Structure 1
Amino acid sequence: MSAVIDALAPRRMELGSTRVPDRPAHWVKHENVAPDWSAVPQQTVIEVVSKGCLEDPERPAIIIDGGPVMTRREFLDRCQKFAGYLSGILAPGDRVVVMLDNRLEFMIALFAIIANRCTLVSIAPTAMAYDAGHIVSDAMPTAAIVGEAQAPIIEAVRDRAPGLRNIITVEGEEPNGLAAYEDAAEPLDFTTVGCQREDIITVYYTSGTTGAPKGCMLHHGWWLRVIDLDLRMFRRGWQDRQLCCLPFYYADPAIQLLTSLASRGTLVAMRRFSVSRFWEVVTTYDATEILSIASIPALLTKGEKSPAERDHRIRLAIHAGLPKDLHHELLERYGFHWHNQYGSTEGGVMSRVPHHLADELVATGTMGVEPPGVTVRIVDDNDVDVPVGVAGEALIGGPDLYAGYLNRPEVTAEANRGGWYHSGDVVRRDERGLLYFVGRKKEIIRRSGENISAAEVEGVLCAHPAILEAAVLPVPDDLRGEEVKAYVQLRAGESPETLPPEAILAHCKANLAAFKVPRFIEYRLTDFERTPSMRVQKQSLLKEKPDLRTGAWDSETGTVGE
């Protein structure tokens, strides 16, 4: 146990405390934000769960679309019962991999693990032996909680973690998949557990653009800060119902559940995102707020229009990486604001569009400004601050950021050099202090000495009405160093005949500087492999074939490469 406590010591550091530049008085800031820790004064996540459930026990905690409705009383009861069982097989500091679909038992397992001062290690339920095996061998869990479909995968890789003694399979109808364990021991009273704010409670493996995924460690303080900031910037109450359309193995659904418990609201969860059912779910369960990521807004606008799109109680949508070309359409079609947000597993919420500027900033592409307590510096390759308007890497400072990367002290030290978290994101700031995303530092393509943002080219491609999704990568070129290749996925009803590569090229030429226009275009006939955050998994594209120019249309020759 002493080794666990010793390992926690560095996590008390506030990144960015060594040097915080003055913020000009004329820069935009969030208004009417409640004081620090006024929304979540608790010291642990378990306190938030216990208090939220005990204060309003008969109100629904979670509603599963097409599934059960669970009150706060039942949710706390089941969490405490399963935690009691786990207390007999786990010791503080143990790690437990969880590989489950979107079902209530995921959230029950999450808080039961945390209450035992242990750590949930999240694995996508669609993972196979290769990617699940990497996480198991890196995290070295002592237990696993899996669905029936995932059990064979974990069994196949369990020898990679010699300490993996217990594999718990969630079986049967929801929410009774853990019923066999719930009465096996005395419940663990959440009001008396000895959790500490510095305990590492979750590990999420970040997909990154290069190298194997790294386990990002998050402690109670990280979660509490995100929940407190969110509730202080956007107040909620018992009448609010947040819609979750994301997979539970990602952090956002748990954040939504905790903010709901802390504000007496309810979480409405879909099994999986569906364009055809989205607005039916919104209206059926009376949702008031949406959290979305990646291509969700674009996919929604491609769907058929229906009266339900305007017959709802939605007050707000928060989206990470909102396409500015869709912003007006989203507002006009659905009747509520979509607020752009910038965040990461490491840094939590790093900027958001202020509510009082929502109308003014529609379709500007801005990510807003930092929430109270967070600082974003923009620097060059030598970590020197750049002038306003100049793009550079975003460095993040603030309290309770991530606790580092599991088993990667050297990578953690490099990411936090100088006392600031180096995000790897290239951003710029305008004269009002508003932030704009330019691209990933490692996704900047160098063509004939010019820097090209893959994200910018992708944004232009996705603005074409026939294109559903796009991914842009560099390919080697003897003359120019690197060339630009675009993978294009067309929407239903379109084909390379209806949208030939020449038309895609013309669209890009009309919207981009000549040096940014893709030379190579390849059609994607099936969906892209995706990261846990639903972004295109570019690592898999890089590995598909030895020469990425093979099979792609070359604009210089007008032919498909062999």
Structure 2
Amino acid sequence: MNIEASYDQFRKRIESEPLLKNVGALVDFSIQRYGDKAAWIPVDNEGAELSYSELGRLIARSANAFMALGVEKGSHVALLMPSTPEHLCAWVALAKLGAVSIGINPNYTTQELVYTLTDSEAEFLLTADQFVPKLATLIQDNQAIALKKVAVSGASGPASTSRWENLLAEADDHFDSSHIDVSGEDPINILYTSGSTGFPKGCVLPHNYWVIKGKVVAGLWPETTRILCDAPFHYMGPLWRFSFACYLGAAICVAPRASLTRFVDRWKTHKIDFGWINNAMAMTAVGTSDSENSLKVLGTSGISPNLQKLAEARFGVPIREHYGMTEVGLATVMPLGADEMLGSGSCGLTAPFRDCMIADECGNAIERGKVGELYVRGPGIVKGYIGKPEANAQAFRGAWFKTGDLFWQDERGYFYFHSRIKDIIRRSAENISASEVEAALYGIPEVEDVAVGPVKDEMRGEEVKAFIILKPGFDPVSLSPERIVVYCSKILARYKIPRYYQYFQDFPRTSSDKIAKRLLLDGEGVAVTTTYDVTNGTWS
């Protein structure tokens, strides 16, 4: 049986199995089955290891504490917290209450905090003491924020706030949610998209979003026991990893932040068997013992095909691509056994519980081999953007969600990312995919990170500009624009080769650590040179 037929059987089987009713039911399942097993293991910081039973008691106390504050089904509760067990348990507790949690990035400016709290219609807020000064100023200066209650974890906050530790101490460590009817399609989260252009949109996600994604990933990688979580909990990554862990009784190993210098050591020290890798990680310096690890699989999204091949050999573990986004969760997945697809550039086959269609500009399905926009539908996808009727009208075509990404599909059913609809450079009569040019530049050994975008040009409409961060030990002399042009000329058609080059120390980034390309094009970031024009050989 070939890999596609085997995967099709897997997909049909997992779709035929009953789904747990909601996130609360999923966590209860894991507590009952894996009570004494480790659920939370701290990485790189102080803190205690917690079992599933211990997490369950903290979840119960958190739910009772929220009830004491007045939280009920349908309440909107913002969480401005670091990556701690209290943060995770607050999220699950709110899920059991049928409330809607709002993940808040602690790095937000005051303006961004005001926007998020008002746009999400937050009624309650749980925060940590280190964020109180920013919050106190915000509430004092912005009367539009209509919070009913604020609770502070850590040291006592202002007199108008409640101390979260006191509420937890007074709460029972048993919580009965049988009287609260929460369906799989009820909202559980408002997660904000990257917002690289203007303010972000709040995605209203249902319980099934997490129940389905956890189930699918557990089915794809069933031998997992230790999962590295190094993204903040206001982001989707740790939440789906926890849902994944609950199905298997695995532990999430939680680091305060991602690190390009410590990730290999973390894998080894904590015997991680499921981790994540991206281009930047794959391009770090090779160690002599990198393959001496406990990894069983590394997930990735958007990795350069050449880097994927090199990283598999370096770490001695399968690296499997997928395609997903905040709005739909998983859309496509690469089966673990699809070794022959390594380095193909494909992001896999249609994920369980999902239908994928490549459509033309009118929303009609097009034949395989042709490029069009990827549409996705299925249970548990985004219910809409809160307070954004125009964005909702643009994002949906009936039950289909329009991803805004261009794809093509081969005859075997594998999907290939082509470009983002808004990430196309129109140079004269040619459409140039910024992603294609970026992939070429990532192949240069001296390059650590790169972004490509358009700049206005009177003659051609737009020209191609490359923004480049070099690895330590290299500079614009050792890797000059001219050298880059020579390299690109062997890979790219002449019209795709960037005309402009600028070197940077750091790029502006979104809350999910993606390059905020719009901000970069608008002049943000830490530049180390001016812009070089290869046409006339000048810096300006």
TM-score by length of structure 1 reads 0.88
Which one of the candidate residues 537, 542, 552 is aligned to 2:516? Answer: 537
Answer yes or no: is 1:151 the counterpart of 2:138: no
Answer yes or no: is 1:500 the counterpart of 2:480: yes
Residue 282 of structure 2 contacts residue 307 of structure 2 at CA under 8 Å; is this kept in 1?
no
Q: Distance in 2 between matches of 1:353 and 1:190?
A: 40
Q: Distance in 2 between matches of 1:468 and 1:68?
A: 36
User: C-alpha offsets along residues 269-325 of structure 1, whole Å, 9 cap, x if unaligned?
Assistant: 111112332222222222211134xxx343244134042x22222111111112111
Q: Distance in 2 between matches of 1:30 and 1:523?
A: 46
**Which consecutive segments of 4 or more residues in structure 1 shift more than 6 A?**
25-28
1:231 to partner: Cα distance: 2.1
Q: Distance in 1 between matches of 2:246 and 2:488?
A: 47
Answer yes or no: is 1:440 the counterpart of 2:420: yes
Q: Residues 156-555 of structure 1 correspond to what in structure 2 (within 5 A)?
A: 156-158=137-139, 159=142, 161-171=144-154, 178-187=164-173, 189-190=175-176, 192=178, 194-197=180-183, 198-236=185-223, 240-292=225-277, 296-307=278-289, 309-357=290-338, 359-525=339-505, 527-544=506-523, 551-555=530-534
Residue 419 of structure 2 contacts residue 435 of structure 2 at CA under 8 Å; is this kept in 1?
yes
Q: 1:195 to 1:496 in 2, by over 3 A?
A: farther
1:123 to partner: Cα distance: 1.6
| Residue ranges of structure 1 left out of the alignment (5+ in a row) | 1-24
SS in 1 for 2:311: helix
Q: Distance in 2 between matches of 1:271 and 1:325?
A: 30
Q: Distance in 2 between matches of 1:433 and 1:319?
A: 20
Which amino acid letter does the alignment assign opposite residue 428 of structure 1?
Answer: W
SS in 2 for 1:484: strand
1:209 to partner: Cα distance: 4.7
Answer yes or no: is 1:35 the counterpart of 2:13: yes
Answer yes or no: is 1:105 the counterpart of 2:86: yes
Which amino acid letter does the alignment assign opposite residue 364 of structure 1?
Answer: S
SS in 2 for 1:35: helix
Q: Residues 32-111 of structure 1 correspond to what in structure 2 (within 5 A)?
A: 32-33=10-11, 35-36=13-14, 41-65=19-43, 66=45, 67-89=47-69, 90-111=71-92
Which amino acid letter does the alignment assign opposite residue 152 of structure 1?
Answer: P
TM-score by length of structure 2 reads 0.91
Q: Distance in 1 between matches of 2:403 and 2:134?
A: 33
Which amino acid letter does the alignment assign opposite residue 386 of structure 1?
Answer: I
Q: Distance in 1 between matches of 2:119 and 2:419?
A: 29
1:26 to partner: Cα distance: 8.4
Q: Distance in 2 between matches of 1:539 and 1:160?
A: 31
Which amino acid letter does the alignment assign opposite residue 52 of structure 1?
Answer: S
| Aligned CA-pair RMSD | 2.3
Aligned equivalent of 1:16: none
1:558 to partner: Cα distance: 0.9
SS in 2 for 1:183: helix
Bigger CA drift: 477-486 or 85-94? 85-94
Which amino acid letter does the alignment assign opposite residue 268 of structure 1?
Answer: C
SS in 1 for 2:320: strand
Q: 1:106 to 1:169 in 2, by over 3 A?
A: same
Residue 34 of structure 1 contacts residue 232 of structure 1 at CA under 8 Å; is this kept in 2?
no
User: C-alpha offsets along residues 476-509 of structure 1, whole Å, 9 cap, x if unaligned?
Assistant: 1111111111111111111112111211222222
Which amino acid letter does the alignment assign opposite residue 218 of structure 1?
Answer: L
Which amino acid letter does the alignment assign opposite residue 167 of structure 2?
Answer: Y
SS in 2 for 1:257: helix
Aligned length: 522
Q: Distance in 2 between matches of 1:26 and 1:355?
A: 11
Which amino acid letter does the alignment assign opposite residue 234 of structure 1?
Answer: W
Q: Distance in 2 between matches of 1:236 and 1:26?
A: 21
Q: Distance in 1 between matches of 2:238 and 2:4?
A: 36
Higher relative contact order (CA 8 A, sep 6+): 1
User: C-alpha offsets along residues 16-74 of structure 1, whole Å, 9 cap, x if unaligned?
Assistant: xxxxxxxxx98895454472367773101001112211332211111011332011111
Residue 209 of structure 1 contacts residue 442 of structure 1 at CA under 8 Å; is this kept in 2?
no
Aligned equivalent of 2:159: none
Which one of the candidate residues 109, 113, 128 is aligned to 1:132? Answer: 113
Which amino acid letter does the alignment assign opposite residue 171 of structure 2?
Answer: A
User: C-alpha offsets along residues 422-463 of structure 1, whole Å, 9 cap, x if unaligned?
Assistant: 000011111221111111101111111211111111111111
Bigger CA drift: 188-197 or 361-370? 188-197
Residue 324 of structure 1 contacts residue 363 of structure 1 at CA under 8 Å; is this kept in 2?
yes
Bigger CA drift: 50-59 or 400-409? 50-59
SS in 1 for 2:490: helix
Answer yes or no: is 1:119 the counterpart of 2:104: no
Which amino acid letter does the alignment assign opposite residue 483 of structure 1?
Answer: E
SS in 1 for 2:385: coil
Q: Distance in 2 between matches of 1:301 and 1:39?
A: 40
| Residue ranges of structure 2 left out of the alignment (5+ in a row) | 156-162
1:203 to partner: Cα distance: 0.9
Q: Distance in 1 between matches of 2:368 and 2:72?
A: 51
Residue 204 of structure 1 contacts residue 217 of structure 1 at CA under 8 Å; is this kept in 2?
yes
